[in-house]
Amino acid sequence: MLSYLLFFITVASILSIATLGLNLQWGISGQFNAGVVGFVAIGGYTLAVLSMPATERLLVQWNLPFAVALAASLVTSAAAALLVGLATLRLRSDYLAIATFGVGSAIQLLANNLEPLTGGSRGLVGIPRPFEALGAVGFAWAYAAIVLTLLALCYAALQALLHSPWGRVQRAMREDESVCAALGKNVVRLRLSSFVLGSVLMGLSGALYAGFVGTTSPSEFMPILTFQIWAMLIVGGSGSNRGAIAGTFVVWGLWTLSGAFIGLLLPPRWQAQAGALQSILVGLVLVLTLLLRPQGLLGARRAA
């Protein structure tokens, strides 16, 4: 039981970091990123590629330590976000959403095809995990500690940013970009900075997950992940960092644990339908949240 709880907290915390990134982009800065999964993938693949032990099949054989590869994954996701941000500078709302969705899918396809770099469709297996010498239990505790520390750091930094002048301008820009520009704010730079920072958090999340499970493959980075992160943010309350984290734990818990409960409650004859019921339940909670509490569990002041 304890080992499962630890596992659940680790995964939910890793996902929370991505949700925090989306909250920065959407909840605070008002940029609709529908390609979350692309930046998660870049982070995950950077860590995997740089830390994989040398094999003849792979182009990059650096076998870097975990911490270095983790730092590098922040750099690559920042670089990718800067490129995407510059390319989509003139796009707003739904146009930005479509463009970023395309970018997310393109990154997944690149991972699927750049075989010498990413292992192609087979993915990369056997990414060295830190603290593996501590055994299964020690690894679980140590990794959970790292993830929770990083989550706390990200949260603290984002809270500080949110209440800084920079955060205030971001929120003002979310409400009315023209007014901001008229007041002499550099809208382009502001948009880019929050987009890049948010994407770096998504990259960090992807890198932490890859380091945790020790494998990565293109099938992990389907658009469903983007949808899940969005659902977590909406349920938790867009605009609130605490809400982003709470929403992640609630939605991920619902997504995974509902299956277990349905399995326990249903008579054996109906077990084969458990999967369908699970989907219905998840959808129901999302719809109910939107109907009864549109601002989310811990929503910010702004009404949708």
Partner 1 sequence: MPILRRLAVPAAASLLVLASGQAAAQQDCPKLGGVLALTGAQGAIGKVIADAGKLAVDQVNKAGGVKGCQVEFVVRDDTSQPSVGLDAARFLVDVQKVHAIVGLVGSGTALQVVNSVSVPNKIPTVACCAVTPALTKLAEEGKTGGYFFRTIPVARSTALVHATTAIDKGYKKPVIMYINNDFGNGVAPDTKRAIEKLGGGVAGMVPYAENQPSYRSDVQKALAMNPDALILIGLSQDGTAVLRDWFALGGTQNVILHNTMRSPDVLKNVGEKFLEKAVGIDNAPASGPSADAFSRDFQAAYNRPAVGPGLQTMYDAAAVTLLAMQAAPKLDGPSIRDALRAVQDPQGEVVGTGVDGLKKGLDALKAGKKIRYVGATGPFTFDKNGDVIGPMLVWKVQGGNIVTERTFTTEEMQAIEKKVGL
Number of residues binding to partner 1, judged by CB under 8 A = 51
Which of positions 119-178 make contact with partner 1 (CB under 8 A)?
Answer: 119-123, 125-126, 136, 139
Given the complex with partner 1, which of 147 and 190 has the nearer CB atom?
A: 147
Q: Parallel, antiparallel, or unpaired for β 124-125 and 215-216?
A: antiparallel
Q: Which of 181, 255, 281, 302 binds partner 1 (CB under 8 A)?
A: 255
Which of positions 228-247 make contact with partner 1 (CB under 8 A)?
Answer: 246
Query: Encoding tokens for residue 276?
Result: 């369908």
Helix (H, G, I), strand (E, B) or coil at 26: helix
Query: Encoding tokens for residue 18?
Result: 């991505």
CB 44 within 8 A of CB 178: no
* Amino acid present at 116: P
Q: How far is the CB of 261 from partner 1 (least distance, A)?
A: 6
Residue whose token pair is 């996902």: 15
If one asks whether residue 219 binds partner 1 (CB under 8 A), the answer comes out as yes
Report the C-alpha gap between 12 and 249 in whole angstroms: 6
Given the complex with partner 1, which of 102 and 263 has the nearer CB atom?
A: 263
Report the C-alpha gap between 267 and 20 in whole angstroms: 39
197 vs 77, 201, 204, CA distance in Å?
9, 7, 11
Q: How far is the CB of 126 from partner 1 (least distance, A)?
A: 6
Q: Which of 159, 164, 186, 256 binds partner 1 (CB under 8 A)?
A: 256
| φ, ψ dihedrals at 125, nearest 5° | -120, 140
If one asks whether residue 54 binds partner 1 (CB under 8 A), the answer comes out as no
Site for partner 1, rule CB under 8 A: 1, 3-4, 7-8, 11, 112-113, 115, 119-123, 125-126, 136, 139, 209, 212-215, 217-220, 222, 224-225, 246, 250, 253, 255-257, 259-261, 263-264, 271-272, 274-276, 278-279, 293, 297-298
